[in-house]
Structure 1
Amino acid sequence: MKVTTKRAAFSGLALLGATVLLAGCASAPEESGDDGGEAIDFMPCMVSDAGGFDDKSFNQLGFEGASKAADELGVELTKVQSDSETDYAPNITNLVDQGCDLIVTVGFALSAATVESALENPDVEYVIIDDAADNDFDGEVDAPNIKPILFDTAQAAFLGGYAAADYTKTNTVGTFGGMNFPTVSIFMDGFKQGVDYYNEQKSKGVTVLGWDGTDGLFTGGFEANDTARNTAQGLLDQNVDVLLPVGGPIYQSAAAAIRDSGRDVALMGVDADFTETDPSVADLVLTSILKGIDVGTYEAVLAAGNGEFDPAPFLGTLENEGVGLAPFHDFESKVSPTLQAELDDLKAAIIAGDVTVNSYLAG
Structure 2
Amino acid sequence: MQKVAMAGVLALSASVLAACGEAPEKDGESKASDFKPCMVSDEGGFDDKSFNEISHEGLLNAAKAIGAKETSVESNSSNDYAPNLASLAAKGCDVVAAVGFDLAAATTEAAAANPDIHYILIDEAIEGENTKSLRYDTAQAAFLAGYAAADYSKTGKVGTYGGANYPSVSVFMDGFAQGVEHYNKVKNKDVKVIGWDRKKQDGLFTGSFSPDEKATNTARQVFEQGADVVLPVGGPIYRGAVTVLSEGQYKGGTIIGVDSDLFKKDSEAAPYVLTSILKSLDLSTEQAIVAASKGEFDNTPYIGTLENEGVGLAEFHDFASKVSDTLTGELDEIKAQIIDGSLKVTSYLADSK
Same fold (TM over 0.5): yes
Letter in structure 2 aligned against 1:239: G
SS at match of 1:333: coil
Q: Deviations over 1:171-191 (max 9, x none)?
A: 010000011110000000000
Residue number in structure 2 paired with 1:239: 226
- The superposition leaves residues 98-125 of structure 1 with CA deviations (integer Å, 9 ceiling, x where unpaired) of 1111000001100011111111111110
Larger RCO (CA under 8 A, 6+ residues apart): 1
Q: CA deviation at 1:279?
A: 2.3
8 Å Cα contact 2:38-2:72 kept in structure 1: yes
In structure 2, C-alpha distance between the alignment counterparts of 1:262 and 1:174, rounded to whole Å: 14
Q: Report how far residue 278 of structure 1 moved.
A: 1.3
Aligned length: 320
Q: In structure 2, which of residues 50, 57, 60 is the aligned counterpart of residue 64 of structure 1?
A: 57
What secondary structure does 1:356 align onto? Answer: coil
Q: Matches of 2:35 and 2:300 in 1, distance apart?
A: 21
Provide Cα deviations, 1:335-363, integer angstroms capped at 9, x if missing partner: 00000000000000111111110000011
Tell me the equivalent position of 2:26: none
The amino acid that maps onto 1:171 is: G
> Which position in structure 2 is the counterpart of 1:186?
171
Q: Structure 1 residue 155: deviation in Å?
A: 0.3
Aligned with 2:121 (options 128, 138, 145): 128
Equivalent residue number for residue 149 of structure 2: 164
Q: What is the deviation of 1:37?
A: 4.7
Letter in 1 for 2:261: D
3-state SS of paired residue (2:346): coil
SS of the aligned residue for 2:235 comes to coil
Q: Tell me the distance in 2 between the aligned counterparts of 1:287 and 1:37.
A: 36
CA positional deviation for 1:277 = 1.3
Deviations 1:279-320 (A, max 9, x none): 222111100000000111111111111222111111100011
Deviations 1:72-119 (A, max 9, x none): 211111110011111111110111111111000001100011111111
Q: Structure 2 CA distance, aligned partners of 1:221 and 1:147?
A: 26
Residue 93 (structure 1) aligned with residue 86 (structure 2):
yes
Match of 1:346 in 2: 334
2:18 match: none
Cα deviation, 1:188-232, whole Å, max 9, x if unaligned, reads 000000001111111100000101021001111111110000000
* Structure 1 residue ranges without an equivalent (≥5): 1-35, 134-140
Supply the AA of the counterpart residue of 2:114.
Answer: N
Higher helix share goes to which structure? Answer: 2
- Give deviations 1:108-160, integer Å, cap 9, x for gaps: 10001111111111111011111111xxxxxxx2x111110010000000000
Name which one, 1 or 2, has greater alpha-carbon Rg.
2
Matched, 1:38 2:31: yes
Say yes or no: does 1:200 pair with 2:193: no
5+ long unaligned stretches in structure 2: 1-28
Return the alpha-carbon distance in structure 2 between the equivalents of residues 216 and 79 of structure 1.
34
Equivalent position of 2:347 in the other structure: 359
Rounded to whole Å, the distance in 1 between the matches of 2:302 and 2:31 is 30
Identity %: 55
1:303 aligned partner: 291
Aligned to 1:282: 270
1:273 aligned residue: 261
Aligned equivalents of 2:192 and 2:308: distance in 1? 31
Q: Which deviations, in whole Å up to 9, do the C-alpha atoms of 1:16-46 show, x marking residues without a partner?
A: xxxxxxxxxxxxxxxxxxxx75322211110
Q: Distance in 1 between matches of 2:31 and 2:143?
A: 46
Once the two structures are superposed, what CA deviation does each residue of 1:242-290 show, in whole Å capped at 9, x if it has no partner?
Answer: 0100011111111111121241101100000011111222111100000
